[in-house]
Structure 1
Amino acid sequence: MTVAVVTDSTASLDADDAAREGISVVPTTVIIGARVYTEGVDVTSQMIADALTQNVPVSTSRPSPETFQAVYRALASTGVDAIVSVHISSKVSGTVDAARLAADRVDIPVHVVDTLQVGLATGFAAGQAARASAAGATVEEVAAAALESARSSRVLLYVDTLEYLRRGGRIGRAAALIGSALAVKPILTIDDGEVTPLEKVRTSSKALARLVALGVEAARSHPDGYDIGILHLASETVATSVAESLAQELDRPAIAIDEVGADIGAHVGPGMIAVTVSAR
């Protein structure tokens, strides 16, 4: 059985990594002002950061069921027997719903996986699914590999301000921090698919040091191996410092750093640093 793996662009996968793993990436739509862009095609994270800094309205839209349907049918035409479609948490996006609608309209089995995660945690889950498929797993086993990876993941998120999450309606249980957030630098996580407060720290430097400590703790909880990566928005210098500290603590030569995808960037704002750890 040949099982194809699909994800969406919020997974923040490097294009070369996705191609190497054979993962099809369905783009989301980003609107800056009155102009509509396609993530991964004609919009960059820096464009998002600039727009947010200049108070230009930025919004996002899930891929349509028709877009998913076209991708599924194109894969079916290549002879694949089934598809596992791995996506961002249904509690912060309607992407899973769109994928499920499309799955009912194609002639091969499509297993839609709601990771209840965001960013690289979704990307790592898609990667685990792709590796299971390459090893000859059944469609059920490929979907299970994605779910297992997602459930093992720890997303640690530092933001300069909660305002962008609030504006976009993605703030989840972190809404409890609104009003006190000027006095603290919160570290957030994803719990049961929602943005959730993890710790409150008084200064940016202490928050970033704590981000490193929590990342080390998460990595060491997976003695059999783990994936780790850092995403940022318009904050490469800080992300590099965090990566170097993590690499030193974990005795690794380096830790990959990427700019977050435009869709997620629109909701977290400039200055965001995210550390994601998933079991291998």
Structure 2
Amino acid sequence: MTKAPNNVAILVDSCSDVPADFIAAHHLYMVPMTITYQDRVYLDKVTIDPETVYANLDQEVPKTASPTGNLIMEAFEKIKADGYEAVIAICISSGLSGTFQQVELAARVSGLDVSVIDTKNIGIASGFAAILATELSEAGLQKGEIEARVRTVAKQTTVFFYVPTLTYLQKGGRIGRVAGLAGNLLNIKPIISCDEDGIYYPVAKARGEKKALKKMLDLVATTIGDHQSFNLAVADGANPEIAAKMVTTLKAAYPQAEHLYTGNISPALGVHTGPGLIGLGIQLLD
């Protein structure tokens, strides 16, 4: 058994969308969702990339599922082999996925001291929690301190996202309270977020893409308000040009932001959103 590099191991699911460069630079464990086509099963972010998913959506919309019990147990065994005894697992909303329940079940028989956090959020808004937990672990905080801080900040974390069409959310059954919107009629574009139960809901709507993106920036401004300590993120699904414009706009508007993370949404999330997504995340730290 080797000596653990940090105090507490941090485990995250692939749909929490921790940026790839952060994972590469830090000691973080990830369990992948599964993406099932008629002829093959892929592991999210491991054996399939977003571009492959988008390229094939016209031919087949695959099924997605939570990480299997075997994959979760493999991650726990690796964590033990690396010398850890304590783990904080960060999961996307239990209102959108069974991942939280799956990880909780595996944790009970893992032989480790595991706390599982349901972020009630999705994508980078959930990934923010894993990033914070990792930083606190690297700073030497104890598990209880890390968990308390992450749970508090998770409630102060929001994502707003725009998709050009609701077709894929409808097909995947993940549309939640957005179902009542005629998103494909009259060029109405909903801005979607997660409510306190972690379910998708339309926080606003606008006519056309340009106004929708402007509305998202307005929502970011309202969310930040008078807060002085916060992180931001821009996530996209095969929409790099608009993502880059959003990054430029946010950097100019909020130079005081501690970090501005960028990255693609996971292939498994891309199945449900289709190409074109733009997401803006805000994590309030004060």
TM above 0.5, yes or no, is yes
Answer yes or no: is the 8 Å Cα contact 1:88–1:119 preserved in 2.
yes
Q: Which aligned pairs between 1:261-280 and structure 2 lie closer than 5 A? A: 261-280=266-285
Letter in 2 for 1:276: G
CA change 1:231–1:176 in 2 (3 A) is: same
Aligned to 2:27: 22
Corresponding residue number in structure 2 for 1:151: 155
Which residue is 2:185 aligned to?
182
Shift of residue 127, structure 1, vs aligned partner:
1.1
Deviates more, 1:209-218 or 1:150-159: 209-218
Query: Which blocks of at least 5 consecutive residues in structure 1 are unaligned?
Result: none
Shift of 1:43: 0.8
Q: Secondary structure at the match of 2:140?
A: coil
- Contact in 1 for aligned 2:61/2:271 (Cα 8 Å): no
What is the correspondence of 1:36-115 to structure 2 with a 5 Å cutoff? Answer: 36-52=41-57, 54-115=58-119
Contact 1:216 1:250 in 2 (8 A): no
Q: Cα 1:100–1:56, aligned 2, differ >3 Å: closer, same or farther?
A: same
Q: Residue 169 in 1 paired to residue 173 in 2?
A: yes
After TM superposition, list the pairs within 5 Å mapping 1:117-266 onto structure 2: 117-177=121-181, 179=182, 181-183=184-186, 184-192=188-196, 193-223=198-228, 225-251=229-255, 255-266=260-271
Question: In 1, Cα distance between the equivalents of 2:160 and 2:73?
Answer: 33
TM-score by length of 2: 0.90
Q: How many residues end up aligned between the 2 structures?
A: 277
SS at match of 1:161: coil
Residue identity in the other structure for 1:92:
L
Give the superposition deviation at 1:86. Answer: 0.5
Task: Determine if contact 1:51/1:58 at 8 Å carries over to the other structure.
Answer: no
SS in structure 1 opposite 2:276?
coil
Return structure 1 stretches of 4+ with deviation > 6 angstroms.
none
Q: CA deviation at 1:217?
A: 3.0
Judging by fraction of residues, say which structure has more helix. Answer: 1
